[in-house]
Amino acid sequence: MLKRWLENSIEKWKSQESMRGMIITGARQVGKTTLAGHVCKGMEYVNLDDPLSHSEFEKMGGKEFAGSYPKAILDEVQKVPALFHLVKYGIDTRRQNRYMLLGSAQILLLKKVRESLAGRVVVKELYPLAFCERLSNSPIPWIATALNRFKKDLKLSIPERKNIRETVGEFGREWKKHINWGGMPAQLEIKQGKEWREWLKNYVATYLQRDLRDLARINDLAPFRKCEQMIALRTGNILNFSELARDTGISVQTAKNYSSYLELSFQTILLEPYFTSTGKRLIKSPKAYMIDIGIQKVLSGQWDGITGQQYESVIASELKKIISTLQSDWNIYHVRTFDGLEVDFLLVNGNKAIAIEVKNSDRVHQQDARHLKHLESVTGIPHILKFVIYEGNEILELQKGIWGIPAIIFFGPGK
C-alpha cells in the first residue's frame, strides 16, 4: 500500500506516554481509516458511521468503556459526542489505554477536544495525496528539505541542473496526472478518465448528503451547492463575499458561513493575506483554493486542460500538504497591496520567508520575477528566498536571488 508522510508521526505517538490520544481529521476518502489500520494493527477498530452502534456508547459508563476498549480506533467519532468523555476517562484512569480518533468534520472534533480532551490528544490533518506520496516510498520533497535548511542557517542549495531533465522524464507522466486528476487515493485504482469523473461526481454528492449534515443543519441544499460551485469557479482568486452572495442569491453572512463550512470540511483553503503593522496597507480579503483539483473540475465543469487559476490551486494544495505534515511551524499567506503588487504565496517563519510566484507555462522570463524583487521592503521580512514555479525543465536565475524552478523539481523528491 501507499506510504503516507503521516505514518512517522503516528509511529512516534504510539510510544508516547503524555499524549495517549490522537485525532486524525480530514476529508472523506483521503485514507484516514486505511492509514490508521495499517500503522495501528493491534488496536480494535470501531466504525461509528453505523447509527445502530451509537446507542451502545451513549449508555456506556466510563469504567465499562475503559475496560472494554483499552486500545481502539474510533472512526467518525464526531457522530457520537458521548465518546469524547469516555475516551477522556479511559486515558485518565488507565495508563495503558490508547485511542485513535478519526473524523471528517473538523469543527465538531476540535470543539470537543477543547471541552474534554485538551492536553490529552495530538491532532493531525490528512489531505489527499501530495505528489511525492504517489511515488515509491513517498520521498520527502525538495522544498521541505529546503525549508528545513533555510530555517536553520538561512542557506539554500539549488538542485543540480544536470539531473533536471532526468527527473522530469522519470516523473513527468505522474506529475501531469496529478495536476489534472487530483490526489484522492481511489484514483490510483481507476485508470480511465471517464470512470474517474463519475467517482468524483459521486464523491461531491456524498459530501453534500453526509459531511455537510455533520457540520450544519441546512434544509435546502440548493443554495449551498450553488455557493460551492461559485467558489470552485473562483479558485485562485480573491474571494469577495459580497459578490459571492449576489451571484448565489444568499446573504453575505450566509456566504461567509458556507465558505467556512467548506474550509472546515477540508474542501477548500482560504488563504489569508500577510499583514505587517509597519509596512504598506494590504488588501484584507482571502484567496480561495479547492484542495483537490479533480473535485474543482467536477464542480466548475472546467475539464479541458488546466487554467492558470487551476494550476495555482494545485500549487496551493501541495504547499498546504507539506506545511501541515512536514513543516508545521511555517504559515502560508498571499500578498496583495492596493498599489498593485501581488505575490501568490508567502511562507513565513519568524524573520524568514519563502516567496513563490506561479506561472502555468513551460517558459519563464525575467519579467515574471518583477513582483518578488522588492518584497523585503513591502513585508518587513529581512530574509526571503524567491521562486517562480513553472512547467519547464530548466532551473534559471531570473534576477539576482530569484530562481525559476520547475514545479516537478520543487515538489519532487529531494536529494
| pLDDT class of 107 with cuts at 50, 70, 90 | low
Residue 108 has pLDDT above 90, yes or no: no
Q: Which of 57-61, 68-72, 213-217 has the weakest average pLDDT?
A: 213-217
Residue 243 has pLDDT above 80, yes or no: yes
Query: Strand, helix or coil at 44?
Result: strand
Phi-psi region of 271 (alpha: psi -120 to 50; beta: other; left: phi over 0): beta
pLDDT at site 279? 44
Residues 6+ apart with CB under 8 A from 167: 408, 409, 412, 413
Across residues 53-66, what is the average pLDDT?
A: 91
Q: In what order do the strands lie in the sheet with 352-358?
A: 331-336, 342-349, 352-358, 383-390, 402-406, 396-399
Cα-Cα-Cα-Cα torsion 37, 40, 42, 47, nearest 10 degrees, comes to -40
| pLDDT class of 415 with cuts at 50, 70, 90 | low
pLDDT at site 250? 95
Across residues 305-315, what is the average pLDDT?
A: 96
Q: In this structure, which amino acid lies at residue 117?
A: L
Q: Which of 29-43, 106-120, 352-366 has the weakest average pLDDT?
A: 106-120
pLDDT at site 281? 47
| pLDDT class of 282 with cuts at 50, 70, 90 | low
Residue 311 has pLDDT above 70, yes or no: yes
Beta strand 342-349 with 352-358 is antiparallel
Q: In terms of CATH architecture, what is 7-125?
A: 3-Layer(aba) Sandwich (3.40)
From residue 208, alpha-carbon distances to 93, 216, 300 in Å are: 39, 11, 16
CA neighbor of 258 nearest in space, from 286, 295, 296, 216: 216
pLDDT at site 8? 93
The larger pLDDT score, comparing residue 276 to residue 340, is at 340
Q: Which of 201-210, 245-254, 340-349 has the weakest average pLDDT?
A: 201-210
Q: In this structure, which amino acid lies at residue 28?
A: R
Mean pLDDT of the chain: 90
Listed by start position, the domains of the chain span: 7-125, 134-410
Q: Read off the pTM.
A: 0.93
Residue 96 has pLDDT above 60, yes or no: yes
Cα–Cα distance measured from residue 123 to residue 121, given in angstroms and rounded to the nearest whole number: 6
Cα–Cα distance measured from residue 95 to residue 113, given in angstroms and rounded to the nearest whole number: 19
Residue 394 has pLDDT above 80, yes or no: yes
Task: Give pLDDT tens digits for 208-228.
Answer: 777 777 777 777 888 999 999
Residue 277, C-alpha cell as written in the block: 503593522
**Backbone angles phi and psi of 67, in degrees to 5:** -80, -35
| 391: enclosing H helix or E strand | none
Query: Cβ distance 107 to 215 under 8 Å?
Result: yes
Q: Which of 6-10, 167-171, 248-252 has the weakest average pLDDT?
A: 167-171
From residue 13, alpha-carbon distances to 20, 22, 70, 120, 121 in Å are: 7, 8, 16, 12, 10
Cα–Cα distance measured from residue 68 to residue 90, given in angstroms and rounded to the nearest whole number: 10
Residue 280 has pLDDT above 50, yes or no: no
Burial of 351 (0-12, 13-18, 19+ CB in 10 A): exposed
